[in-house]
Amino acid sequence: MVSLTREEPMNNVVRAAYHALAAVLGGVQSLHVDSYDEAYSVPSEEASILSLRTQQIIEAETQVTQVVDPLGGSFYVEALTNNMEERILNEIDEIERMGGIVEVVASGWLHNKITRYMQREQKMIADGNIKVVGRNYFRAPDLKMPDVWVHEYDERIGKEMRDKLARLRQRRDNEKASNTLNALKQACKHGDNVMAACLECARADVTEGEMRRAFVEAFGLWKSPIYV
């Protein structure tokens, strides 16, 4: 499925609507619709509202959500499902033969496979084997790229958040916060389930950043071994 493009960005409104409808027809439980300008910018308020309206139109005006499995019985959908299931099981079998998911992630095999797929798809688009309207198919001769809207950071908001964080650290029991963080580090190092330790940290008003730092101190930072 083609992603959003910077060329003729209003085409992305149609793309996103079809993406959303396909997801709903497939029985999706939650849905996010990309804004048409996300291909080249932080979404504008107008684009964000249009994404919301896209979901609301699908839900309220088509009433497709009132039908359970609207594509049920379709021979084409069943054929696609069987084909996808076969390919998925083949991938799982290959991963199992290589030692499991942890091994293929650690070795870089999984990330390289994804990277190669992305490269292959981009080459197919560049060669015209995958048609993208406005980019390599029905491309306008006088095509102009849209201006990139740059989100301007409001320093006032940053200051408000820093002040809020400072007040939190002043009013909380910092000894308790430190103890729960140490318990989290120990759980990480011992290979224990860290959920209970994280909950205790949250109850002690430990911030997400502080918890993340504990994970980094225990496990270090991991970089995916991608070789292109």
Residue at 34 is within a domain: yes
pLDDT at residue 227 in the model: 63
pTM: 0.72
8 Å CB contact between 5 and 12: yes
> Is 33 contained in some domain?
yes
Q: Alpha carbon of 198 to those of 172, 203, 209: distances in Å?
A: 16, 9, 12
**Residue at 196 is within a domain:** yes
Q: DSSP for 106-132, please give it.
A: HHTHHHHHHHHHHHHHHHHHHHTSS--
What is the count of structural domains for the chain?
2
Q: Is residue 60 part of a domain?
A: yes
Specify whether the CB–CB gap between 165 and 205 falls below 8 A: no
Is residue 87 in a domain?
A: no
133 by DSSP, 3-state: which? strand
In a domain, 162, yes or no: yes
Cβ atoms of 185 and 218 within 8 Å: the answer is yes
What type of residue sits at position 158?
G
Question: By residue range, what is the domain housing residue 175?
Answer: 156-219
- Amino acid 89: pLDDT: 98
Q: Is 93 within a domain? A: no
At residue 137, the 3 state secondary structure works out as strand
Query: Which of 48, 66, 84 is the C-terminal boundary of a domain?
Result: 66
Last residue within a domain, chosen from 66, 89, 105: 66
pLDDT tens digit at each of 228 positions of the chain: 458 999 999 999 999 999 999 999 988 999 999 999 988 888 889 999 999 999 999 999 999 999 888 998 899 999 999 999 999 999 999 999 999 999 999 889 999 999 999 999 999 999 999 999 999 999 999 988 888 777 777 899 999 999 999 999 999 999 999 999 999 999 999 999 999 999 999 999 999 999 999 999 999 988 877 665
* Domain assignment present for 57: yes
